[in-house]
Amino acid sequence: MAEKWRGIARHMRVPQPRGGVYPSIGMAPWTSRVDHPSVLAGLGVTPETGILDRRLMEATLIDVHREWEWGTTWGWDYPMMAMTAARVGRPDLAVQSLLVNESKNTYLPNGHNWQTPELPAYLPGNGGLLTAVALMAAGWENGPARPGFDSRWKIEYEGILPLP
């Protein structure tokens, strides 16, 4: 079965940049700036595969930070951005991503990440936050140490293994 999936992976289409960034959709207008900035997950949540260009992903991250319609995002989007920032060598944007001042990036006293009145408990946001901070502190296999924090931060952790 694994060989079947390797074959599929070999024939997947490589994302084509548009205007110096990776597009979020596969047709004009190429980028929709609402909902999840999921274009960043390809090098953030997902480990390095050799398919995506780090410089283009960094440009895409900067573009998302500058232009996204934040009110349309969801709680796990901020940790996803932080993981992408760490993987492209931008610890400043990793921390900034976790601190974006938006209602969907707010944590209640019970630990839940508020999204809408109809959805009082939302777990992907806090799970994403824990994963992002782990990646930012412990890094990933064969990667740098502390990739999500610059030298101004004093980071201590224990028992967290590097992510893939």
- Taking the mean position of all CA atoms in its chain, how far away is CA 120? 23
Instruction: Please compute the mean of the pLDDT values over residues 105-120 and round it to a whole number.
Output: 84
Report pTM: 0.92
The contacts of residue 141 (CB under 8 Å, 6+ apart) are 47, 162, 163, 164
Whether residue 51 contacts residue 44, with contact meaning beta carbons closer than 8 Å, is answered with no
What span, in angstroms and rounded, lies between the C-alpha atoms of 153 and 148? 10
Boundaries of every domain in the chain: 39-164
The single-letter DSSP state of residue 160 is P
- Give residue-wise pLDDT tens across range 9-55: 888 888 899 999 999 888 888 888 999 999 999 999 999 888 999 99
Position 115 confidence tier, pLDDT thresholds 50, 70, 90 = confident
- Give residue-wise pLDDT tens across range 42-96: 999 999 888 999 999 999 999 999 999 999 999 999 999 999 999 999 999 999 9
Position 97 confidence tier, pLDDT thresholds 50, 70, 90 = very high
The single-letter DSSP state of residue 162 is P
SS3 for 141? coil
- Which residues make beta-bridge pairs with 107? 113
Tokens at 15, concatenated? 């994302």
